[in-house]
Structure 1
Amino acid sequence: MKKVAIIQDMSSFGKCSLTAAIPVLSVMGVQAVPLPTAILTSQTEYPSYFCEDLTAKMPHFTDEWHKMGAAFDGIHTGFVTGKEQIENIFSFLHTFYKEETTLLVDPVMGDRGHMYDVFTGELIGYMKELAKRADVITPNVTECCLLTGLSYDKLQTYRSNEEYVAAVEDAGRQLQSDTDAKVIITGLNPPAPLGKRRIGNMYIDGDRSYTRFQEYNGKSYSGTGDLFASVVMGGMMRDQTPVETMELADEFLTAAIQSTSEEQIPTVAGVNFESHLRMLL
């Protein structure tokens, strides 16, 4: 059985990070090996939460796993709390990243045009360095803008689907050129002159690009990016192509979001993905 080390926080409520990645990878036939970077009572969009930062504990995982002779087919990184955590990830990669290992970096830094409070210009620089080591990067549109310098505000001024998609694709190609990684950009939300909103994802590799859209209900749920990236990682561990994994993740999340919307679940609580895990078998 293939093993994937997941370097992320664990939030008890919010269905994101480790609580999203572990069940997805498990049902896809992959052993999920968590390295928790922090423990939170709930994800940070809840009005109140407690966080225990585990930055100082991360090297113990690297050391103990190295003593065990552990090896990983994949390494999946997500939200980090500061540059010291990224430095710990670099140390982890120095120990465990091999030529045959797949590194997926989900550069969790912001959403809907806003950078998360924990991030600074210096931390963005560290995230850029981490992205350069990746085989696959899964930024959302906001994070793609932060990594490439594309203006998110300017992106919102485009009045046609074609202009919007072309601008995102140009940024994605720049990101690929900077990192030499496969790039999957999530959360494309082009203008809707006829009132029918859509949301989609874009895959870029070399001179190829592929964009897939679904209807958009106007809501942003906790953990959907984590679920998406986890499906992509699971698919790659099954030797599926990036396009195949992107389509599978899209179908899985569309079903989960629809049932969550029908039940009127608060967006901070995440999506009811559990009842749709069979789609990933």
Structure 2
Amino acid sequence: MTKKIAVINDLSGFGRCSLTAAISVLSAMGVQACPLPTALLTAQTGYPSYYCDDYTDKMEHYRREWNKMQVNFTGIYTGYVANERQIHEIFSFLDTFYQKETFLLVDPVMGDNGHTYGMYNDELCRLMRLLAAKADLITPNLTELCLLSGTDFHDLPESGKPQALLDTVREMAQALCEKGTKSVVVTGIHFQDLADGSKKIGNLYVSPLESGLASFPDMEGSFSGTGDLFASVLAGGYARGDSLSQAVLLAGSFLEDALRDSVREGIPYNDGVNFEKYLYYLLPKQ
């Protein structure tokens, strides 16, 4: 029977992110994506102009109708939320569908580069911390890790001091695990490799069974949707029974080639990366 993941995220017409990314990746990995949109956008919010249709009032209809169908999910995967009410809707969804055999992956879309996204306020941050504490896996970037742990982003060690930075990030991730989160993957850690001076981007993972760092060449620049693609591969890996380290390495390799291709072709950052031609990386092994 095909495994199903309920994906609670926005749907953007342009930008190769959110549900567009998740549906593509999960389908390639042999998992059925069941989208529950939090908002419909003509294009992701990095574009200079876009129209957004807030779906908060429609989220409850999905929960009720899916409950009537008596469906079960292998996993529940949450991404962008637009307001506090949407997190309350997610809590209600979890009360209905989050069973003992179901995993919860939370991608806490809160900010980047030391700045919080515009819709975030103290209450929304508090609710996201509560949601993250329920999760089997969260995938914050450094900014989001700081927001979840109550750490000042500007107090982090510099990228030129990689060991100090990585040690600090690992301690912060472990602290979140002590508050309830089962596993943490901190994405997009930029640092300098002291052995050869090259720039790297690392994904540090911490779980009860394993921990480590998977690093790749830093292509620089900030493309739309890379975090969504990464989290989607992890969700698909969890559904397939891959280990956390296997899923992190697969996601990193998949994104490395997609990013290199996009840089080579000069793709605008807002358009996202050329991931479609690399989906074959994710196909289930026969």
What interval of TM-score do these two structures reach, taking the shorter chain for normalisation? over 0.9
- Greater displacement, 50-59 / 171-180: 171-180
Tell me how far apart the structure 2 counterparts of residues 3 and 246 of structure 1 sit (CA, whole Å).
20
Report the AA paired with residue 203 of structure 1. Y
CA drift at 1:207 = 7.6
Tell me how far apart the structure 2 counterparts of residues 121 and 240 of structure 1 sit (CA, whole Å).
36
Residue 11 (str. 1) matches residue 16 (str. 2): no
8 Å Cα contact 2:159/2:190 also seen in 1: no
CA drift at 1:68 = 1.0
Report the AA paired with residue 188 of structure 1. I
CA deviation profile, 1:133-177 (whole Å, cap 9, x unmatched): 111111111100110122211215464211111111111111111
Structure 2: runs of 5+ lacking an equivalent: none
Tell me how far apart the structure 1 counterparts of residues 106 and 10 of structure 2 sit (CA, whole Å).
14
Partner of 2:203, secondary structure, is strand
The answer for the alignment partner of 1:53 in structure 2 is 54
Cα RMSD for the two superposed structures? 1.3
The answer for the alignment partner of 2:25 in structure 1 is 24
CA drift at 1:179 = 2.1
The answer for the alignment partner of 2:101 in structure 1 is 100
The answer for the alignment partner of 1:209 in structure 2 is 211
CA deviation profile, 1:184-218 (whole Å, cap 9, x unmatched): 11011124677521111001013842001111122
Tell me how far apart the structure 1 counterparts of residues 266 and 252 of structure 2 sit (CA, whole Å).
21
Identity of aligned residues (%): 48
Tell me how far apart the structure 1 counterparts of residues 192 and 172 of structure 2 sit (CA, whole Å).
18
Partner of 1:219, secondary structure, is coil
Report the AA paired with residue 215 of structure 1. P
Structure 1 residue runs of 4 or more that deviate by more than 6 Å after TM superposition: none
Question: CA separation of 1:158/1:28 partners in 2, compared to 1, >3 Å: closer, same or farther?
Answer: closer
The answer for the alignment partner of 1:261 in structure 2 is 263
CA deviation profile, 1:84-103 (whole Å, cap 9, x unmatched): 00000000000111000011
Mapping 1:1-281, distance limit 5 Å:
1-157=2-158, 159-191=160-192, 196-206=198-208, 208-281=210-283
Report the AA paired with residue 144 of structure 1. L
Normalization by structure 2: what TM-score? 0.95
Report the AA paired with residue 181 of structure 2. D
Tell me how far apart the structure 2 counterparts of residues 140 and 63 of structure 1 sit (CA, whole Å).
33
8 Å Cα contact 2:205/2:245 also seen in 1: yes
Tell me how far apart the structure 2 counterparts of residues 264 and 195 of structure 1 sit (CA, whole Å).
25
Tell me how far apart the structure 2 counterparts of residues 38 and 25 of structure 1 sit (CA, whole Å).
20
Question: CA separation of 1:279/1:42 partners in 2, compared to 1, >3 Å: closer, same or farther?
Answer: same
Structure 1: runs of 5+ lacking an equivalent: none
Tell me how far apart the structure 2 counterparts of residues 182 and 279 of structure 1 sit (CA, whole Å).
24
Partner of 1:37, secondary structure, is strand
